[in-house]
Structure 1
Amino acid sequence: MRVEIWSDIACPWCYVGKARFEKALGAFPHRDEVEVVHRSFELDPHRAKGDVQPVLAMLSGKYGMSAAQAQAGEDNLGAQAAAEGLDYRTTGRDHGNTFDMHRLLHLARERGRQDELIQILYRANFAEERSVFSEGDERLVELAAEAGLDTEEARRVLADPAAYADAVRADEREAAELGANGVPFFVLDRAYGVSGAQPAEVFTQALTQAWGERSPLRLIEDGGAEACGPDGCEVPRT
């Protein structure tokens, strides 16, 4: 069975949702027969590569939040991440274009290191002090090497704007065709869809139902869980 996950490195609910899905997958009896493929989805595709700004300023400017509201949202996200055993910096992070990261993830898939790279990118973006946006291509090369990719190959991909660009755009078109307008979005064997960072129990239900079945895509959850979309990242109310 194949599980495809549309996500973006800049999406905190993708970071949390991956952990929740993996909790369910780890307890799934057929887990060794499940292939997980990460697909590209940019939350801010029109942002220029060099346009990097603090997360709190981005939230305030783009979504009309006050500084206090933006910080409260980050604090809540930090609590949600901590509940899944994830580190999350609620201050001092920045935000930028993720297109090059998605291109590297397609390279990593070809080399059998995609899951390793996406987890390293999530950790670097949400938990570490160093930026994945403002330090340039060499920061991404360093993280690619940590995931087991060849550094020179990673540099060549980053130096060529066309490398894997079509693959990223194809993923994004397919997401739109499937009706995904936010991430994370999970598609199980092209039979079931799960939208948002659902609890692990929902993923368990989806894995169980999708196993061995072949049918048109049916949405198990219609977006009631937290997700990130063009209008921002939902934050649980306290």
Structure 2
Amino acid sequence: MARKEYAASEARAEGLGFRIGGRVHGNTFEPHRLLQFAKARNLQAELMNLAFQVNFTEERSIYDEETLASMAVEVGLYEAAVRELLNDGDAYAEDVRADERQAAELGAGGVPFFMRDRQYGVAGLQSVELFTQALEPAWQNRPAARH
């Protein structure tokens, strides 16, 4: 079974609506700039979840301005601010590039790639056991909770 089919099969086994047949592929730089914008407004997780749903479940493109703006508004961002961001190619670009550099330093060569505490990374579709093994050092080395 090819890698993509395996990923889709594993996702479906976990109850996730994941499709690979008609999905549109493209450059993710603009969606990542929008995610950085959403992060500054504490809406990154919501936007990321919606982007995954649109891309992997609904198999719609997340690479055009209209879809990006629509998703942003759906999670609570102001459309005018989003369109201003999308028209300014420099806005949040350095934040995205910094993430790309960090991912490269951690060995990310593709997606998916999961990072914890900007230090611990797990590449690709992996078993629960491997994720647990990879996240144990992050848990053990976390800073003490402050009260």
Residue 173 in structure 1 maps to residue 101 in structure 2 = yes
Comparing both structures, which one devotes a greater share of its residues to strand? 1
Superposition TM-score, scaled by structure 1 size: 0.53
Comparing both structures, which one devotes a greater share of its residues to helix? 2
Paired with 2:121 and 2:103, the residues of 1 have a C-alpha distance of 11
CA contact (8 A) 1:191 1:213 kept: no
Paired with 1:132 and 1:150, the residues of 2 have a C-alpha distance of 18
Identity of aligned residues (%): 52
Cα shift at 1:123? 1.0
SS at match of 2:115: strand
Cα shift at 1:190? 5.0
Counterpart of 2:60 (choices 102, 126, 130) is 130
SS at match of 2:121: strand
Cα shift at 1:143? 0.7
By relative contact order (CA 8 Å, sep 6+), the higher-ranking structure is 1
Moved beyond 6 Å, runs of 4+: none
Deviations 1:20-65 (A, max 9, x none): xxxxxxxxxxxxxxxxxxxxxxxxxxxxxxxxxxxxxxxxxxxxxx
Evaluate the alpha carbon distance shift between residue 76 and residue 175 of structure 1 in structure 2; reply closer, same or farther with a 3 A threshold.
closer
Q: Which residue of 2 aligns with 1:119?
A: 49
Deviations 1:80-109 (A, max 9, x none): 220222112332222112111000000011
Paired with 2:100 and 2:116, the residues of 1 have a C-alpha distance of 17
SS at match of 1:94: coil
Structure 2 counterparts to residues 140-151 of structure 1, below 5 A: 140-151=68-79
CA contact (8 A) 2:106 2:120 kept: no
Q: Which residue of 2 aligns with 1:160?
A: 88
Paired with 1:90 and 1:196, the residues of 2 have a C-alpha distance of 16
1:159 maps to amino acid: N
CA contact (8 A) 2:24 2:60 kept: no
Superposition TM-score, scaled by structure 2 size: 0.81
RMSD: 2.4
Q: Which residue of 1 aligns with 2:145?
A: none
CA contact (8 A) 1:188 1:206 kept: no
What is the number of equivalent residue pairs in this alignment?
142
